[in-house]
Amino acid sequence: MLVSENETLKNNIIKWAEELGKDRTILLPLLQRVQKKYSSISPYAMQIIADLLDIHPVEVYSVVSFYSFLNDEPKGRFVIRLCRTISCEMSGRDRIARQLQNELGIAFGETTPDSRFTLEWTNCMGMCDLGPAMMVNDVVFTEMTPEKAHEIVERCRQTFSAFALQNKQEG
Amino acid sequence: MNTKTNHDRTCRAPKSVKGYSIKTSPDKTQIGGQVTVTINDHAIKVPLGTTILEASKSLGINIPTLCNHDDLCVAGVCRICVVEVEGQRNLQAACAFPVTSPIKVRTHSRRVRHARRHILDLMLAKHYGECYSCTRNGNCELQNLAEEYGVDFYRFGHLKEPRYTVDNSSYAVVRDMDKCILCRRCIRTCIDMQEVGVLGAINRGDKTKIATFLDKPLAEVICINCGQCINRCPTAALKAKDPTDEVWAAIDDPTKHVVIQTAPSPRAAIAECFGVEPGTALTFEMNTALKRCGFNKVFDTNFTADLTIIEEGTELILRLYKALVKKDPGVAETIPQFTSCSPGWVKFIEHFYPEFLPHVSSAKSPQQMFGALIKTYYAQQNNLDPANIVSVALMPCSAKKFECNRPEMISSGYKDVDYGLTTRELAKMIKEAGVDLLKMEKSDFDDPFGSATGSGVIFGATGGVMESALRCVIELVTGKKVENLFDHAEITPVRGFEGSRIAELTIGDVGPVPDLLKHLVPDWNWLRGVTLKLGVCHGTANAKKVLEDIRNGGPFSQCQFIEFMACPGGCLGGGGQPIPTTPEIRAARARAIYAEDRRSTIRKSHENPAILSLYKEFLTDGPCGKVSHKLLHTHYVARGKYILA
Ligand code: SF4
Ligand code: SF4
Ligand code: SF4
Ligand code: FES
Ligand code: FES
């Protein structure tokens, strides 16, 4: 079972690497694809990537550990990132933080036991005029209130995709 | 002579960028054009592309450096080398600023001094530990700078608690990241110079640290224990695992018979630990000093280097004989034969090219051969119980510490070599014993292995194994003296520091088969007129190139025998040698080694009388016979490079 999973992972990586052009410059785009599809970059994946790009696994690991949006260990299906930088802090991020913690029963940096949610801090994402801001996977939410936080978490519980959230917000 | 092992300073640049980078010769005068740079009001003309650091050096102006190292590509990360360049708003890193137009530079203005002091203070703020309880006390680039810049208090504080646990897992290298200043020399060493790729910087900002893949302990990753990173580290963040306490305990124990074998390279370098110019050999002074420290016997590893030549040479002859005369295709596939005396190289091939393992000679390294003989032959001859013998090996190498702990290295029935000491550790023991090495009278090595040949000495330099093997092969096969073919028996085509090279030797007339080999081959006729191609390479980055070349059927695949050494320059540049090691220092040590070879009277392994009597009395079934296979040969493990999470 595990073997075949790794096998498909490997085939996918090889395919993407061919598409992107097998050079060490494609490291980031390749990692992003793996991250997007598998929501984490496993040690096995890192070693396959290193082999394909003719670099060392530790170099891949170094890049993965550098970027917050790449991770080597699986995170929750929904990764909620609340901005902690000064503008958002001043517009009331603490209330949102408390709400999220109560709602999910976990602290920042943790993942719920059912692997649904991961709660994290992030730094400024350029939404300072619309603070407090947060992200759920790659969707940004602005002008957060505790009620809105509750609603978003509820909606995540009921759906399986962050895109459902996005449509709702845009709509 | 250019002694850099890796000329391509853009080796890690992506292919897309490499297209635009100009392949520059390390010799800057080749780029063309001169430019005037004015440093602190002194004008000097330098070749275009010279860095401010190099230009200053030629004016006798010292600029401090931490991340810069002569063996490595430019990094420009530590910023301690900042200088003021007229017209530039920010301070510039002298090590990474190539002069391309006439510029004016100030190297110690107030602004520069302040910046440097701040950088130092910031480094010390994250530095845990005290100099007196540190292995690098007195030989630390950070400590030196703190002294030079008059640090007398910690402006930004100093850590009271360690941030990391020390990684003690490896037999060879200890990592204490609390002393790391993130200069990334080790990364560049391991990736660019050695192409092993163990170390990298992980995380970001103040959480950055130097780590292995998945932050695993060093023993669980693909480290080949070469210790080159130790030799580049400016601080004590990387150090060799030090067994001196155990060695002292053995010396203090009256029931133990403590013997030490000393490899060729440490004697050409140990003087550096006592403040002497590189390139001074202190072989015989060191013998006396070792006795004064309390070792019962001092042996010369050259003896087993000679033995290695005989065993490995016989193995090669057998392989060639089986392949050329007996037409055995299985054996033909294992040619070229690879040397096996460098344990770092052995682990490299076990990890990265396990499919090539059948090429590696089964002969043990000289250190391990000696270990096996000491606890058998020597013990018998002297009526000693091998259980009471403690066998220590003085080596220029940290991988030797790993090697002597390999589980298969117990062919004497005991651990063949108990402890591996590096040159640095022995220097420390000599100092601790209060022995003034430089004032010691000379004394010779102890019997029964006393005499060694010059051939053994040159094992320490790249090409040395090849040259010794050639001296033997030429004489054994042709029956003629090497001196008739090469001046002073110096086979210069295999010498030098180029990363990899091939020498050719055509065998003309053949002589009779000498007694030692009579039972193995009937005659030499099959070698008449054969051209032997012999490869030499040093540094595992070059080893990788050679192996890839063989895989692609390139010139190295035509060789019969290839010498590999894990360390740049061979053992004389080993990871256990005095710090610093630079291209110039390696060249000086090589001169000392070749000078010693010139001085020795017997110059060929197969003429060494102690070797001949060993085969007469102990290894009675000759080279590659049963006994020698049990004691002097070994096997390897296909490790592979994949690490499971
Ligand atoms: S690494 Fe250098 S500065 Fe740090 S404690 Fe050791 S000797 Fe002192
Ligand atoms: S000992 Fe050699 S292989 Fe191991 S980390 Fe250091 S440089 Fe790399
Ligand atoms: S371990 Fe040593 S060489 Fe490596 S970054 Fe730290 S201080 Fe520099
Ligand atoms: S401060 Fe939160 S988005 Fe800029
Ligand atoms: S020595 Fe120049 S930046 Fe480190």
Q: Which amino acid is at B211?
A: A
Q: Are B511 and B565 contained in the same domain?
A: yes
Is residue A73 a part of any domain in this protein? no
Distances in Å between the Cα of A157 and the Cα atoms of A76, A82, B65 are 12, 18, 56
Does ligand 2 lie within 6 Å of residue B65's CB atom? no
Q: Which of B388, B410, B439 delimits the end of a domain?
A: B439
Residues B271 and B294 in one domain: yes
- CB contacts, 8 Å: A57 with chain B: 197, 213, 643
B186 touching A, CB under 8 A? no
d(CA B452, CA B284) in angstroms, rounded, equals 13
Q: Does B444 score more than 70 pLDDT?
A: yes
**B16 lies within 8 A of chain A by CB:** yes
Q: Which of A66, A86, A114 corresponds to the end of one domain?
A: A66
User: What is the CATH classification number for the domain harbouring B478?
Assistant: 3.40.950.10
Choose among A24, A25, A58: nearest Cβ to B200. A58
* Residue A166 shares a structural domain with residue A83: yes
A56 shares its domain with A85: no
Closest CB to A62: pick one of B202, B644, B645: B202
Same domain, A154 and A87: yes
Q: Minimal Cα–Cα distance from B644 to chain A, Å? A: 7
Q: Are B284 and B299 members of one domain?
A: yes
Contact B209, B184 (CB under 8 A): no
- With CB atoms and an 8 Å threshold, state whether B16 touches A25: yes
Co-location of B389 and B457 in the same domain: no
Note whether residue B470 is domain-resident: yes
Q: Over range A117-146, report the average pLDDT.
A: 93
Residue A117 has pLDDT above 60, yes or no: yes
Does one domain contain both B266 and B324? no
What distance in Å separates the CA atoms of residue B499 and residue B462, rounded to the nearest whole number? 9
* From B201, B642, B645, residue closest to A62, measured CB to CB: B201
What is the CATH classification number for the domain harbouring A90? 3.40.30.10
Which residue's alpha carbon is at the smallest distance from atom 8 of ligand 3? B183
- Residue B320 maps to a domain: yes
User: B86 C-alpha to center of ligand 5: Å?
Assistant: 19
Ligand 4 pocket, mutate which of A82, A96, A125 (most atoms under 8 A from CB)? A125
Identify the three-state secondary structure at position B619.
coil
> Lowest mean pLDDT: which of A42-56, B261-275, B461-475?
B461-475
On whether residue B164 sits in a domain, the answer given is no
Position B452 pLDDT exceeds 70: no
Return the closest-CA partner of residue B191 out of B164, B222, B166. B222
Q: Which of B282, B286, B226 is nearest to B260 (CA)?
A: B286
pLDDT in tens, B80-133: 999 999 999 999 999 999 999 999 999 999 999 999 999 999 999 999 989 999
Which atom from ligand 1 is nearest to the alpha carbon of B139? 7
Cross-chain residue pair A58–B645, CB shorter than 8 Å:
no
Q: Of B387, B408, B439, which residue sits at a domain end?
A: B439
In this structure, the answer to whether residues A88 and A159 fall within a common structural domain is yes
A133 lines ligand 4 (CB under 6 A): yes
Domain count, chain A: 2
Q: Which residue among B135, B136, B139, B149 has the greatest number of ligand 1 atoms within 8 angstroms of its CB, and so is best to mutate?
A: B136
Q: Which of B17-31, B299-313, B441-455 has the highest mean pLDDT?
A: B299-313
B531 and B620: one domain?
A: yes
How far is B594 from B461, CA to CA, in rounded Å? 8
| Cβ-defined contact of B14 to A23 (cutoff 8 Å) | yes
Average of pLDDT values for B199-222?
A: 95
CA distance A108 to A101: 8
Of B211 and B506, the one with more pLDDT: B211
What is the whole-number distance in angstroms between the Cα of residue B117 and the centre of ligand 1? 17
Is the distance from the beta carbon of residue B67 to the nearest atom of ligand 5 less than 6 Å?
A: yes
Q: Is residue A132 part of a domain?
A: yes
Q: Are B52 and B97 in contact (CB under 8 A)?
A: yes
Range of the domain at B554: 309-363+453-581+590-632
Question: Is A107 domain-assigned?
Answer: yes
Residues A82, A62: one domain? no
Q: Which residue of A has its CA nearest to B645?
A: A43
Q: Is residue B626 part of a domain?
A: yes
C-alpha pair distances (Å), B486 with each of A60, A117, B474, B480, B512: 51, 76, 11, 11, 21
Ligand 2 within 6 A of B221 CB?
Answer: no
Q: Which ligand is nearest to the CA of B241?
A: 2
Chain A and chain B share a number of CB contacts under 8 A equal to 53
Helix B423-432 vs helix B283-293: angle between axes, to the nearest 10 degrees?
A: 60
What is the pLDDT at residue B26?
Answer: 61
Round to whole Å and give the CA distance between B505 and B533: 7
What are the pocket residues of ligand 3 if the criterion is a CB atom closer than 6 Å to any ligand atom? B 180-186, 210, 232-235, 237-238
Q: What is the pLDDT of residue B29?
A: 66
- CB proximity B203 to A under 8 Å: yes
CA pair distance B84, B97, nearest whole angstrom: 11
Question: Best substitution site from B65, B70, B185 to test ligand 5's pocket, by max atoms within 8 Å of Cβ?
Answer: B65
Q: Does residue B18 register a pLDDT over 60?
A: no
Name the percent of chain B lying above pLDDT 90: 71
Cis before residue B264, ω within 30 degrees of 0? no
Measured between beta carbons, the chain A residues lying within 8 angstroms of B175 are none
User: In terms of domains, do A39 and A97 share one?
Assistant: no
pLDDT band at B451 (very low <50, low <70, confident <90, very high): low
Confidence of residue B396 (pLDDT cuts 50, 70, 90): very high
Shared domain check, A102 and A56: no
User: Residue B25 falls within a domain, yes or no?
Assistant: no
Same domain, B471 and B330: yes
Distance from CA of A158 to the nearest CA of B (A): 34
For residue B96, the ligand closest to its alpha carbon is: 5
Q: How many residues does chain B have?
A: 645
Are B523 and B597 found together in one domain?
A: yes
Of the candidates A23, A24, A65, the beta carbon closest to that of B202 is on A65
The verdict on residue B330 lying in a domain is yes
Taking the Cβ of residue B61 and every Cβ of chain A, the question of whether any pair is shorter than 8 Å is answered with no
Q: Mark which of B406, B439, B472 sits at the end of a domain.
A: B439
CATH code, B395: 3.40.50.1780
* Minimum distance, in Å, between the CA of residue A100 and any CA atom of chain B: 26
pLDDT: which is higher, B483 or B14: B483
Q: State how far Cα B165 lies from the chain centre.
A: 28
At residue A171, the pLDDT reads 36
Residue nearest to ligand 1 atom 8, measured at CA: B131
- Owning domain of residue A55: 5-66
Are A57 and A50 within 8 A, CB to CB? yes
Identify whether residues A88 and A144 lie together within a single domain: yes
Report which of B443, B473, B445 is spatially closest to residue B457, judged by C-alpha positions. B445
For residues B572 and B535, membership in a common domain is answered with yes
Together in a domain, B493 and B372: no
A102 in any annotated domain: yes
B547 and B417 in a common domain: no
**CATH number of A24's domain:** 1.10.10
| Element at B200 (helix H, strand E) | strand B200-202
SS3 state of residue B568: coil
3 state SS of B502: strand
Distance between Cα B146 and ligand 3 center (Å): 17
Q: Which ligand is nearest to the CA of B141?
A: 1
Distance to chain B for A103, nearest Cα, Å: 30
* Whether residues A93 and A165 fall in one domain: yes
Which amino acid residue places its CA nearest to atom 3 of ligand 1?
A: B143
Same-domain pairing of A92 and A156:
yes
Are B483 and B281 in contact by the 8 Å Cβ rule? The answer is: no
d(CA B539, CA B571): 10
Among chain B residues, CA nearest to A57: B213
Compare all CA atoms of chain A with the CA of B208 and give the residue at the minimum distance: A66
Given A66, A92, A114, the domain boundary residue is A66
CA of B72 to the centre of ligand 5 (A): 12
Q: What residues in A contact B201, CB-CB < 8 Å?
A: 62
Q: How far apart are CA A29 and CA A37, in angstroms?
A: 12
What's B223's DSSP letter? -
Residue B8 domain-assigned?
no
- With respect to residue A72, please indicate whether it lies within any of the assigned structural domains: no
Sign of CA dihedral B216, B398, B611, B602: positive
Catalytic residues of B: 312, 315, 341, 361, 400, 403, 408, 571
- Residue holding tokens 């102890």? B446
**Shortest Cα distance, chain B CAs vs residue A84, angstroms:** 17
Give chain A positions within 8 Å (CB) of B212. 58
Q: Is the pLDDT of residue B421 over 60?
A: yes
Q: In this predicted model, what pLDDT tens digit does every residue of B233-251 receive, in sequence order?
A: 999 999 999 999 999 999 9
Amino acid at A81: R
- Report helix, strand or coil for A135: strand
What residues contact B59, with CB distance under 8 A and at least 6 apart? B39, B42, B44
Q: Which residues 13-52 of A have a C-beta within 8 angstroms of B?
A: 23-25, 42-44, 46-47
Torsion, Cα B321 B326 B329 B333, to 10 degrees, reads 0
- Please state the ipTM of this predicted complex: 0.90
Residues A59 and A90 in one domain: no
Decide: B190 and B228 in contact? Cβ < 8 Å.
yes
Of the residues A18, A42, A66, which one is the last residue of a structural domain?
A66
**In which region does residue B480 sit, left (phi positive, over 0), alpha (psi from -120 to 50) or beta (all else)?**
beta
Q: Please tell me the distance in Å from B202's CA to the nearest CA on chain A.
A: 5
Closest approach of B192 to chain A, Cα-based (Å): 11
pLDDT, residue A60, reads 96
pLDDT digits (tens, 9 = 90+) for B509-530: 888 888 888 888 888 999 988 8
In this predicted structure, the answer to whether residue B271 has a pLDDT above a threshold of 60 is yes
Measured in angstroms, how far is the CA atom of residue B184 from the centroid of ligand 3? 5
In this structure, are A157 and A82 located in the same domain?
yes
Listing DSSP states for B511-563 in one string gives -PPPGGGTTT-S-SGGGTTPEEEEEEEESHHHHHHHHHHHHTT-GGGG-SEEE
B133 touches chain A (CB under 8 A): no
Q: Is B151 in the pocket of ligand 1 (CB under 6 A)?
A: no
Between CA A96 and CA A148 the distance in angstroms is 9
Question: What is d(CA B39, CA B33) in angstroms, rounded to the nearest whole number?
Answer: 19
Closest to B97 (Cα-Cα) out of B113, B111, B84: B84
pLDDT at residue B6 in the model? 43
Domain identity same for B498 and B382: no
How confident is the model over B345-390, as pLDDT tens digits?
999 999 999 999 999 999 999 999 999 999 999 999 999 999 999 9
Contact across the interface for B214 and A43, Cβ inside 8 Å:
yes
**A56 contacts on B by Cβ (under 8 Å):** 191, 196-198, 200, 213
pLDDT digits (tens, 9 = 90+) for B461-518: 888 888 888 888 888 888 887 777 776 667 777 777 678 889 888 888 888 888 888 8
Distance A90 CA to ligand 4 centre (A): 10
Domain count, chain B: 2
Nearest to A66 among B14, B17, B204 (CB): B204
A135 lines ligand 4 (CB under 6 A): no
In a domain, A71, yes or no: no
Average pLDDT of the residues of chain B: 90
